Structure 1
């Protein structure tokens, strides 16, 4: 699926995201809510206005989970087991929303990383996020 070169590129990108996880995550979530307002229904109990504490906190959690899973991509199923169960059985999030979020995240990465987010980096992150989303949605089958 991912070459060693792509895995290294993904790790490099993820290492850059860790210090700004709240900002990147909040920006990607905000994009999701603007483009796909139906996604807001899962957050009705939180203040998800731009730059809100709740939006930044949840965005950070998402980015840090993506970063953690990137540390050993071959172990995605094991790494995401708890999140799979939480999202499928407790939160009951529509798994289609995960893919929509990943697209919004790619746009956010392009904005923040600019010239460093080359076509090759974009393709590698897209492959990784597609695998991440697929594993996260496995419990729905």
Structure 2
């Protein structure tokens, strides 16, 4: 399944991948080399920590490369008539207005109002138009939103 990315997320991922491959790898290998010089590796906390850090870094590199190998670039649609990937929209619920952006799962950050197209709320908003009501089931119960506008 492809990863849906905005142009900014694509650029950020490429930068992170380059940093992890060219800088982070080298820094971790230096830590491992330094820890090896300290002697017995079986009880060497610095060595074990550096090896764990190396494994996490390599896992992240693998993850980034996989996402960058199979992605779909999502363009912001100016003048869109319904909510789709890349759309930023204003909603109202219980008299309060909120702004959301519908993004791919790798960009999702609910605190910033970026909701995944794969989440229950994201799937509920997908295809909705201004003036429509959207309802979805949250753990706390049913939540209803009115779509105010798209931008």
* TM-score normalised over the length of structure 1: 0.29
From the CA coordinates, give the structure whose radius of gyration is larger. 2
Higher relative contact order (CA 8 A, sep 6+): 1
The structure carrying a bigger helix percent of its residues is: 1
* TM-score normalised over the length of structure 2: 0.27
